[in-house]
Chains A and B, each alone.
Chain A
Amino acid sequence: MTIVRSELLQGTLDMLVLKILSLEPLHGWGVSERIQQMSGEVFQVNQGSLYPALRRLKRRGWITSEWRVTENNRRARYYALTAAGRKRLAEERQAWARSSAAIEQILQAAH
């Protein structure tokens, strides 16, 4: 059987990254792995597209970055959520809940 893989919904990548970083600081590869695992392998991020998103979130002050040493003793850039990022995540979740509820309602009515 093949897993049906979906493109990430436009604009949701930022929210997912924020969510994942809210759990613990991670490096870029870790974030991409985590998205894939947590979505039950449904979403396959084009891993490269993660990095512009990370740069964008950093520029907006929602995440910070620092170089750390991994458990395997390698240097990697770790990203962490800031207070502003936490607030942003809450806002995005609310907006997401509202719009998905609305979409669900429309789909229900269509039956």
Chain B
Amino acid sequence: MRWMVYAVEAFNALFRRGRVEAELEEEVRFHLEMEIEKNLRAGMTPEEARRVALLRFGGVEQVKEEVREESGVRWLEDMLMDLRYAARQLRRNPAFTAVAVLTLALGIGANTAVFSVLHSVILSPLGYHEPGRLVRIYQSHRTYGTDVWVSGPAFLDYREQLEGVESVTAMYNYREMGFTLTGAGSARRVTMLPVSSDFFDVYRVHPVIGRPFVRDEERGSARIAVLSHRLWQAISGDAGVLGQRLELDGDPYEVIGVMPAGFVDVVGGDVDLWVPLELQDENARENRGNHYLSVVARLRPDVTLGQARSRLASLATSQAELYPNQHEDWSAEMVPLRDDLVGASRTMLFVLLGASGLVLLIACVNVASLFLSRNVARERELAVRAAIGAGRFRLTRQLVTESIVIALIGGAAGLALAHWGVGVLLPLSSDAVPRAREVSFDATLFVFALGVTLFTVVIFGLAPALQFVSPELDRSLREDSRTGTGGARSRRVRDVLVTSQVALAILLLIGAGLLMRSLLSLQAVDLGISPRDAMTFQVHLGGPRYADPAARIAFHREYQDRLRAYSGVRAVGAVSKLPVSDQYNSWTFTYLSASGEVMRHGGGADFRVIEGDFFEALNIELLAGRRFGPSDHADAPQVAIVNQSLARRYYEGRDPLGQRIADPSVWTIVGVVADVAHDGRGSVTGKVYLPHAQFGDDRNWALTQIVATTIPRRDLLEIARQELRAIDPQLVIHNPRSMREVTGSAIAQERFVFLLLAIFAAVALSLAAVGIYGVMAYNVGRRTREFGIRLALGASPLAVRRSVLRQGSAIVGIGILGGLVGAFLLSRLLRSMLFGVGATDPLTFVLVPLALASVALLAGYLPARRATKVDPLRVLRQE
């Protein structure tokens, strides 16, 4: 009941103001009239009666004001009034409003966009039950490297012997995962991931209908599948799917379960169906040299990561004792799954967030400076308002309200900008940012944007407003508008603001400069291939037609011959994994001499299966021996070609030709080729090239075709499709990419960071230039009279200009110095992202300040020129 009364009162006070006021007026008038009548009855004259009545009542307006105060919603009323007033002010200065809103929107937008990525990628937990207990397990080799995938027998050891983990699963995503699905409507391309039966326990996700696999079904011949929710919906979406037969590349599979909607397999990616991993065959049980499994484990709740790690380490030690040949120099490591997924991009994202924070600061400084100069223009207005009784608190509140309105509009625009920006940037970042698919806009972001907005109010709104807590108001009333200087205080504040702006811009520019230098050195890295004219694409040979390796070998031979026949095609080859697209098929070999004596056990190398003119197509130089030829057919002695690094490491001081490599089948080395990089930084490991003709029966290799040609991309692909149809109309071309795109995506992350930082730095530089221009123009305007007098007294324009620029260069100079010191301290944070350039690269640290100084000079020159255009006569006559 009481709250209703309150609400009605509040409603009346706010929205029926006119009526409430009229009633108050009438009530007071009635009171006074009654009092006057009483006084008249007491014998006073009318004038006296009126005077005494008013005296006894107290100040009429004061009483009314006190009554209004009692309405209980005074603060709300004031706020609405402030808001109305602020809106009017902002509408009256559309240019000012637009600039302020736009500047803030840039800052807030940049921050929200970067944060949205950071939030989804790093801060939000993986979408599984107790995701903190999930770890990734790798094997690692003393010299060969860390983060090596796990061999079948090693995984089985973990599953049977590793203490402290609840369950551990292996995924075979180290293979061609694309299959053609038939038997359920039209044929479609699907992704299939073989997993061990523990997969469902590790992720704690079980099929919503049907059942998971069991251990007995961990064999390739099981031919059963669990579907993703998405694939289930696409096929039928009803429970009748259980028991249905699907064909994958012609092999029949029975559907036994469907995963819940929204389940994402973070290691496998967009998987459409899961099938049992083959763990019964010799490769899985015996071959400790084949590292092909991704292993994820769930720790027991009572076991810490440290304890689990030490148990894994001791298990690795006992493996090394039991199997010295395969496990010598090998150990194992355990990484929290999220860290593993996010990896190096953590640094990148935090650097970007820091950079966008700097942009925001600069934006705030600019808006603060805008507000300051506007407040100076309004100083007289404010002084008048203070003089007729507006409280200082009330005035400050009014100014802050204006800031809040600007900030909120800027924040809303920034949120929109961020939404748009993320939409534009994410497609560019797919190779650079993990979990990019999961980036989404949600309430957290809204809260973040709001927080950032309020932060900006504090930064840009409060400082200018507080200035008016103690202005020399009487002075501003006395000053006439032309001579008013706006106070030395406000000028100093503005100088400091611009100085800090310059310093912040320097920080960003140095960061961008270092990354640009790094990107340039990355682009100059010799990758060992010349990708100028090569086009790549894949053809998958699935189904019973290509079950026989001879059919696959014959296909590649015929297809490449057909392409080679076109004029303009220089060479055609194929490889199991393109250069510069990571390590793959890392194997441990045994190195033998020509006579069969073991020279080295368990040395790691990547192997590549090649077909046709692979080396010619990418201009990989033959250093010794010969390339593969038609004589290296399936029945001929097995041969291999090694790269220079491998020859140097394992056959130091000997001629590698004629030596042998065993895995355990034995190949004889017939050639040595130059090194090619496996990543964008030019990293090189040992490589063993094997002919597809002799190694094609190992598995159905998904070879990537490489065509070195001068034929334009579109025409070439048309030719490639046409020739493919001529051989087998059912085959299609996948994933066509130029070699340039392949090498480009290897440095995608570096390019992405540079792109963003360059955008931020450009924004920072322009904002700083605007800031410098603003403060210089303001200073010149303030000194117009002085310049007029000096010019009239015979000062040369040059001297006047110099005096203006001197003042500006002090501001900019201090800013540059401060920025350089800051950059020197902060640039080490970038170190892990830099390549071929130091974090305190002298060139960058010299060029960036020079560039900024020239921009500053330009921004300062225009006002300086205007100073000399002052007409002394006019200025003096204005007095």
Contact = CB atoms under 8 A, between A and B. Distances in A.
Contacts of B9: 58-59
B56 A46 contact: yes
B28 interface: yes
Given A29-B35, A59-B70, A48 B27 contact: no
A74 interface: yes
Interface in B70-129: 70-72
Nearest to A55: B70
Interface residues of B, number: 28
SS of B interface (majority): helix
A6 interface: no
Contact of A52 (B57, B60, B67): B67
A55 B20 CA distance: 11
B306 to A, nearest CB: 63
A97 B59 CA distance: 34
A77 B28 CA distance: 10
Nearest to A27: B30
Interface string B1-41: 11001100100000000000001101110110111000000
Nearest to B37: A72
Given A28-B27, A61-B2, A77-B23, A48 B70 contact: no
Interface string B475-519: 000000000000000000000000000000000000000000000
A48 B329 CA distance: 96
A93 interface: no
Contacts of B57: 46-48
Given A27-B30, A51-B63, A52-B67, A46 B35 contact: no
Among B26, B27, B71, the most chain A Cβ lie within 10 Å of the Cβ of B27
A30 B6 CA distance: 25
A8 to B, nearest CB: 14
Contacts of B60: 48
A49 B5 contact: no
A27 B66 CA distance: 18
A51 to B, nearest CB: 5
Interface string B535-562: 0000000000000000000000000000
B69 interface: yes
B58 A47 contact: yes
A47 B66 contact: no
B6 A59 contact: yes
B62 interface: yes
A47 B67 contact: no
B57 to A, nearest CB: 5
A59 B27 contact: no
Interface string A37-62: 00000001011110110011011110
- Interface size bucket, A side? 20 to 34
Given A29-B34, A47-B35, A60 B27 contact: no
Contact of A48 (B2, B62, B71): B62
Given A29-B31, A29-B34, A48-B58, A59 B71 contact: yes
B111 to A, nearest CB: 44
A27 B9 CA distance: 19
B2 A60 contact: yes
A46 B58 contact: yes
B31 A28 contact: yes
A51 B56 contact: no
Contacts of B5: 58-61
Contact of B72 (A46, A59, A67): A59
Among A44, A47, A49, A84, the most chain B Cβ lie within 10 Å of the Cβ of A47
Given A29-B34, A46-B56, A51 B71 contact: no
A55 B63 contact: no
A51 B59 CA distance: 12
B70 A52 contact: yes
Among B24, B31, B69, the most chain A Cβ lie within 10 Å of the Cβ of B31
A98 B27 CA distance: 36
A90 interface: no
B2 A51 contact: no
A75 B26 contact: yes
A55 B67 contact: yes
Contacts of B33: 74
A77 B67 CA distance: 15
Interface in B191-222: none
Contacts of B69: 52
Contacts of A46: 56-58
A84 B2 contact: yes
A5 B490 CA distance: 54
A77 B35 CA distance: 16
A29 B30 contact: yes
A76 interface: yes
Contacts of B70: 52, 55-56, 59
B56 A47 contact: yes
Contacts of A59: 5-6, 9, 70-72
Contacts of B63: 48-49, 51-52
A97 to B, nearest CB: 26
Interface in B216-254: none
B93 to A, nearest CB: 39
A29 to B, nearest CB: 4
B500 to A, nearest CB: 49
A51 B67 contact: yes
A78 to B, nearest CB: 11
A49 B58 contact: yes
B35 A55 contact: no
A78 B476 CA distance: 50
Nearest to A56: B70
Contacts of B24: 51
B1 A76 contact: no
A49 B31 contact: no
Contacts of A61: 1-2, 5-6
Nearest to A60: B2
B58 A76 contact: no
B355 to A, nearest CB: 53
Contacts of A52: 63, 66-67, 69-70
The 3 closest A-B pairs by CB, nearest first: A48-B58, A48-B63, A55-B70
14 contacts: A29-B35, A46-B56, A47-B35, A47-B58, A48-B57, A49-B66, A52-B63, A55-B67, A56-B70, A59-B6, A60-B2, A61-B2, A67-B23, A77-B30
Interface of B: 1-2, 5-6, 9, 23-24, 26-28, 30-31, 33-35, 56-60, 62-63, 66-67, 69-72
Given A52-B67, A55-B70, A58-B5, 18 more contacts: A29-B30, A29-B34, A47-B31, A48-B57, A48-B58, A48-B60, A51-B27, A51-B67, A52-B69, A52-B70, A59-B5, A59-B6, A59-B72, A61-B1, A61-B2, A74-B33, A77-B23, A77-B26
Interface of A: 27-29, 32, 44, 46-49, 51-52, 55-56, 58-61, 67, 74-77, 84
